Structure 1
Amino acid sequence: MATTVTQLDLSPAVTWPAGYATDPGLSLEEVVRPYGSAAEVAFLGADGARDAASYDVLARRIATAAHRLRAAGVRPGDPVAVTLTNDLPTVTAALGVWAAGGTLVSLPPPPRRGGEVHAQRFGAVLDAMDCRLHLTDAPDTPPLTDRMRAVPVAAVQGEERVPDPEPAIPDIALVQFTSGSLGTPKGVAVRGDIFAGHIKMISRCFDLDSARDRVVTWLPLYHDLGFVCFFSSAFYARTAQTHSNPKSFVLDPASWLTMLARERATVSGAPNFGFRLASRMPYPEGLDLSRMKCCLNAAERVLWSDVVDFHRVAGPLGFPWEAIMPAYGLAEGTVGVSCAPHDRGPVRGPDGHVSLGPPLPGNRYTVSESGSLLLGGNWLFEGYWTAEGFKPRDPGPFDTDDAAFLHDGELYVIGRRADVASVSGHNVFAEDVEAAALAAGGPLLLGCAAFKHRGEGGGGERFGLVLEISPRTKSAAPEVARAARRAVTEALGTRVAPVLVVQQGAIPRTTSGKPRRPVLREMVLNGELPPRRVLAELP
């Protein structure tokens, strides 16, 4: 069934309790001095090795990092790029940037291949910022710009008895890049007081208690869901936290729930695909997930079938249905926009869409006549850094360009407006096509992406579809393609063409895992996908 966009005013029927009141005036200087807590911040390497420090120890290391960064020439207001990998030294260095008074510029890591393209995508923006320093755990990597110099993360580590820094954090504390799913990434600039107030709000909505809770995720910290939502909210609350290497989850999706049980986690989260993959794995007897109280499902469309399948597996292990919290956010809103309360569980709404909850405290939004979600409130960004320089945000509500509707006071986001096609008089979103294909593909289908294009001979809009499977199951590729096409036609009344089945990893994605649909379209239509990676094709 095609998506229907309903125009409704935001109802006050569902709200967060008054105790979650916002505090946008919190100073970030108060946050980056985590003295007085013996709670642990831990990181698990890909080999399972554990590196941990108490907040007290981390505070001394942050002071040392700030001292060494100032000795390296960092002055208040200077932008410093950091590739936030999931390890304690890199996080220490990043927090040291703030303690030294700098602006933290969070960079995604370069791909294994295509470093030149990575430098082109980010280098011009970094030059426009006059960013001259890059803290990295791979200092032999060529600098992203001629003006930048790499400083090893190891060079700022230590626990010297240095004076506690008196940070003069600039107005812009954080620059986090958009995913770039629709074009060149832009640097989203967030003020220090906005960032600090936002993470305080999230910690309250998670009801974080340093004596009771532990935040545990595998999410990459170079993405805002990992760094802002989980790491920083736990950091503000001085709550114990554990972060694993994202590759551990990719290689073994069962490692997520296994880690939650081992670490006695109460708070976690993942994009919807993480719930899907985790639901397909076997688990040992005796796994106890009953401590979980908050588990966000965010960063991509939430599918009801995946939520149900996940709980069918995790529920018998004690995982409460009420702990699953579908949510919506974006970098331009610091991170969090709306979220289901942690004591309710997911709700299936109109047309089978999953509610993303009421607005988080401090947020306001409505839906425009064109169906686009408009965001306002306390947590909006200041503007974008681009290759042409800094562009302040236009006054008034921010147009997210996400198609959405509001129902019973709760938010439903249904897709990117750039990825909608008019088919036989109704709108079909790329996410609709992907959801139908995923439901039909079953365990064999590891991922997919739909892209909009014009039919041959100047025909109307239609979708092409690329499906990812493991090379080990390539014999099933033709049937996977036929099943996906048949499911899309039955569900949405449109025939997708072409349909390609490719090896896992062939779909170009952003640093947050979203498909880069415009790039994929050009690759498919121009025959640029490597033939050895194409396992089947239906014209």
Structure 2
Amino acid sequence: MTQLDLPSAPLVTWPASYATDPGLCLEEIVRPYGSTATVSFIDADGSRDSVTYDVLARRIATAAARLRGAGVRVGDPVAMTLTNDLPAVVAALGVWAAGGTLVSLPPSPRRGRELHAERFGAVLAAMDCRFHLTAPDDPGPLTDRLRAVPIGGLQGEERVSDPEPDIPRTALVQFTSGSVGTPKGVAIRADTFAGHTKMISRCFDLDPVRDRVATWLPLYHDLGFVCFFGSALYSRTGQVHTDPRTFVLNPAHWLTMLAEEGATISGAPNFGFRLASRVPYPDKLDLSRMRCCLNAAERVLWSDVVDFHRVAGPLGFAWEAIMPAYGLAEGTVGVSCTPRGRGPVEGPGGHVSLGPALPGARYQLRGDETPATLLISGQWLLEGYWTAAGFEPRQEDPFDTNDAAFTHDGELYVIGRRTEVASISGHNVFAEDVEAGALRAGGPSLLGCAAFKHSATDGGERFALVLEISPRTAKSAPELARTVRAAVSDLLGTRVAPLLVVQQGVIPRTTSGKPRRPALREAVLSDGLPARRILAELS
């Protein structure tokens, strides 16, 4: 069955029992003794590091004992950047086994490390965080007040008595994807994390005998760590993770890995589906085992989903395996998701349904306009935020997501951020609308884009647009700029200005790959982009 002959979808809800049934606590989750399923990590050079869950449990116990020996006590926050490799995972889970709170930091940028250290260091100081687990390529602890504990020194399989302190009430502090500018650490309770990963494992219907989870998503982001790694760990299902750079450098690697690993569960942001649809694959690639593949973390475009299936479908990738979803760190990770085994649904205005609320989650709309303000509530909400000013308990219930959305046939459709919407000729246009129009018009040479709202010289509002292409296609930049501007104008009735075509990598992005619009706005309007990387410009 393809997307062209699917019948209208009946109203579907996820079983509430997926959230309410008893399950493992976090202390049990991080002690997977006895399981022979494997956890594997594939480095950028193709080398593989694999262990069974039983061996992983022994390594976690060793790491916990060494952390306790280093001075970590129950309730201590311990910071680290959770990279896609086995030593980092052992260290992170060792923090929990030692009774600590895991503080998951985004990686330091190649440029501006001092500012990054200053901003995140202020939050860690407010938390009274004293420990920073460092990788071999780290220049040292993030700030002078932190004690560096090398991740390599936590590795081993010693026969140690497994420390069994209770994990503190706050188990995880994960920074929101927009935290690069103003860090906000989302505090997640231990029972919330455990219940959420149980719920996701039930929604995926994970079976250790049948299933294998495989992704390239970074583990320092909630989609990679909580949704995929966490649910597989909970259910003791085999899993494999690769370095995110492998996908960036070669988008064909994702589907190739799924076939080689016999994967049944995976996922990516929408841009992953788009890039994967633009590269060739061997005819004998077999993707018929895929059952569940989330499309989440940014707006899902129907054209990208269709293009992806046009390429992956002939290789056995079922349309029904694609599951558009919505979530955010403040909801632990998941809020809504397309029902398993149904496939994507195109709704009003060509928008893609993000499914009904997940078990234990609820959403509602505030306001009479359409789209309206999206609010969420339920079992999976954050405790509060850690900032440089200290801990800020969550005050709102329901929680305001700052997203604009509507519902149709009982399912959620998220349009964009309320801070990036402008009134154009009497109707609202979102930055995501501009980007969607640009991506449709730009063709395969357009690798990414970002729009932002600003004040025009006539006092009104308009959008600027930045397009990213490969330096190899630089000669096409002027024509691409004109084509995209005309297409967006015809589609939305607004003239984007300025419009820049730049080399890939110029647009500042969050840890999940979303455009950092405020930073881009400042750079473009203050002529802060590097001139040598601007390939074309329309004022």
Interval of TM-score (by shorter of Structure 1 and Structure 2): over 0.9
Letter in 1 for 2:462: R
Q: What residue is the counterpart of 2:386 in the other structure?
A: 385
Q: Classify 1:250/1:199 alpha carbon distance in 2 versus 1 (closer, same or farther; 3 Å).
A: same
Q: 1:19-48 CA deviation, whole Å, 9 max, x = no partner?
A: 534358752111111011000000000000
1:24-35 aligned at under 5 Å gives the runs 26-35=24-33
Letter in 1 for 2:502: V
* 1:167 to partner: Cα distance: 2.6
Aligned-partner SS, 1:535: strand
Q: 1:267-312 CA deviation, whole Å, 9 max, x = no partner?
A: 0000000000000010012100000000000000000000000000
Aligned-partner SS, 1:372: strand
1:354 paired residue among 338, 352, 355: 352
CA–CA distance in structure 2, aligned partners of residues 149 and 27 of structure 1: 30
Q: What residue is the counterpart of 2:427 in the other structure?
A: 426
Aligned-partner SS, 1:495: coil
Q: What residue is the counterpart of 2:506 in the other structure?
A: 506
Q: 1:343-390 CA deviation, whole Å, 9 max, x = no partner?
A: 100000000000000000001110100611110011001000000000
Q: Classify 1:302/1:140 alpha carbon distance in 2 versus 1 (closer, same or farther; 3 Å).
A: closer
Letter in 1 for 2:65: H
Q: What residue is the counterpart of 1:407 in the other structure?
A: 408
Aligned-partner SS, 1:443: coil
| 8 Å contact from structure 1 (residues 175, 187) kept in 2 | yes
* 1:145 to partner: Cα distance: 2.2
Q: What residue is the counterpart of 1:497 in the other structure?
A: 497
| 8 Å contact from structure 1 (residues 174, 189) kept in 2 | yes
Q: How many residues align?
A: 527
Q: What percentage of aligned pairs have identical amino acids?
A: 77
Q: Is 1:522 paired with 2:533?
A: no
Q: Structure 2 length normalisation: TM-score?
A: 0.96
Q: What residue is the counterpart of 2:373 in the other structure?
A: 372
1:43-192 aligned at under 5 Å gives the runs 43-138=41-136, 140-180=138-178, 183-192=181-190
Aligned-partner SS, 2:444: helix
| 8 Å contact from structure 2 (residues 373, 405) kept in 1 | yes
Q: Classify 1:22/1:394 alpha carbon distance in 2 versus 1 (closer, same or farther; 3 Å).
A: same
Aligned-partner SS, 1:326: strand
Aligned-partner SS, 2:443: helix
Q: What residue is the counterpart of 1:442 in the other structure?
A: 443
| 8 Å contact from structure 1 (residues 181, 509) kept in 2 | no
Aligned-partner SS, 2:339: coil
* 1:202 to partner: Cα distance: 0.1
Letter in 1 for 2:497: A
| 8 Å contact from structure 2 (residues 19, 195) kept in 1 | no
Letter in 1 for 2:336: S
Q: 1:133-190 CA deviation, whole Å, 9 max, x = no partner?
A: 1112136514322210221110000000000221311000000001126951200000
CA–CA distance in structure 1, aligned partners of residues 139 and 227 of structure 2: 29
Q: What residue is the counterpart of 1:534 in the other structure?
A: 534
CA–CA distance in structure 2, aligned partners of residues 69 and 386 of structure 1: 25
Q: What residue is the counterpart of 1:312 in the other structure?
A: 310
CA–CA distance in structure 1, aligned partners of residues 137 and 430 of structure 2: 42
CA–CA distance in structure 1, aligned partners of residues 272 and 49 of structure 2: 24
Aligned-partner SS, 2:68: helix
Q: Classify 1:343/1:535 alpha carbon distance in 2 versus 1 (closer, same or farther; 3 Å).
A: same
- Comparing 366-375 with 434-443, greater Cα deviation is found at 366-375
Q: What residue is the counterpart of 2:195 in the other structure?
A: 197
Q: What residue is the counterpart of 2:3 in the other structure?
A: none
CA–CA distance in structure 2, aligned partners of residues 124 and 22 of structure 1: 38
Letter in 1 for 2:403: D
| 8 Å contact from structure 1 (residues 136, 150) kept in 2 | yes
| 8 Å contact from structure 1 (residues 34, 238) kept in 2 | yes
| 8 Å contact from structure 1 (residues 24, 196) kept in 2 | no
CA–CA distance in structure 1, aligned partners of residues 127 and 16 of structure 2: 40
1:289-300 aligned at under 5 Å gives the runs 289-300=287-298
CA–CA distance in structure 2, aligned partners of residues 253 and 468 of structure 1: 16
| 8 Å contact from structure 1 (residues 86, 244) kept in 2 | yes
Q: Is 1:279 paired with 2:280?
A: no
RMSD: 1.3
| 8 Å contact from structure 1 (residues 23, 200) kept in 2 | no
Greater than 4 Å deviation, 4+ residue runs: 23-26
CA–CA distance in structure 1, aligned partners of residues 51 and 414 of structure 2: 39
Q: Structure 1 length normalisation: TM-score?
A: 0.96
CA–CA distance in structure 1, aligned partners of residues 319 and 388 of structure 2: 45
- Comparing 305-314 with 363-372, greater Cα deviation is found at 363-372
Aligned-partner SS, 1:42: strand
Q: 1:314-367 CA deviation, whole Å, 9 max, x = no partner?
A: 000000000000000000000000000121000000000000000000011101
* 1:132 to partner: Cα distance: 1.0
* 1:117 to partner: Cα distance: 2.1
| 8 Å contact from structure 1 (residues 175, 189) kept in 2 | yes
| 8 Å contact from structure 1 (residues 384, 392) kept in 2 | yes
Aligned-partner SS, 1:180: coil
* 1:82 to partner: Cα distance: 1.4
Q: What residue is the counterpart of 2:6 in the other structure?
A: none
CA–CA distance in structure 2, aligned partners of residues 178 and 23 of structure 1: 29
Q: What residue is the counterpart of 2:326 in the other structure?
A: 328
Letter in 1 for 2:251: P
Q: Is 1:17 paired with 2:18?
A: no
| 8 Å contact from structure 1 (residues 139, 151) kept in 2 | no
Q: 1:501-530 CA deviation, whole Å, 9 max, x = no partner?
A: 000000111111111111111111111111
Higher RCO, Cα 8 Å, sep 6+: 1
Aligned-partner SS, 2:20: coil
Q: What residue is the counterpart of 2:453 in the other structure?
A: 452
CA–CA distance in structure 1, aligned partners of residues 173 and 127 of structure 2: 10
CA–CA distance in structure 1, aligned partners of residues 491 and 179 of structure 2: 26
Q: Which runs of 5+ in 2 are unaligned?
A: 1-9
Q: Which runs of 5+ in 1 are unaligned?
A: 1-11
